[in-house]
Amino acid sequence: MANHKSALKRVRSTEKRRNYNRYYAKTMRNAIRVFRQIEKKDKAAKQLTGLISLIDRNAKRGVIHRNKAANLKSKLTKKFNNL
């Protein structure tokens, strides 16, 4: 266990950040999973804009790396264009 005040605070803040990142990463993964199962182009168009926004927000917050965000957006756009 931590011995210093700053180390105790670091443990608390790390746990809080970990939970925050887990929540937003899981939300994004679920949204991507739902998008990949869509078969109609008009419904997918509405979903894609929100999903790209969600991915960009997670990259900006540091939940995922910006290159991973770019790869995800590229793959999802490619799927959308093939519908």
DSSP string, 23-41: HHHHHHHHHHHHHHT---H
- pLDDT (tens digit per residue) in 23-77: 999 999 999 999 999 999 989 999 999 999 999 999 999 999 999 999 999 999 9
- Identify the burial level of 46 via C-beta atoms within 10 angstroms of its C-beta, where 0-12 means exposed, 13-18 middle and 19 or more buried: exposed
pTM reported for the whole predicted model: 0.86
In the chain, the domains with their CATH numbers are 5-81 (1.20.58.110)
The per-residue pLDDT for 3 is 83
Those residues whose C-beta lies under 8 Å from the C-beta of residue 75, and which sit 6 or more positions away, are none
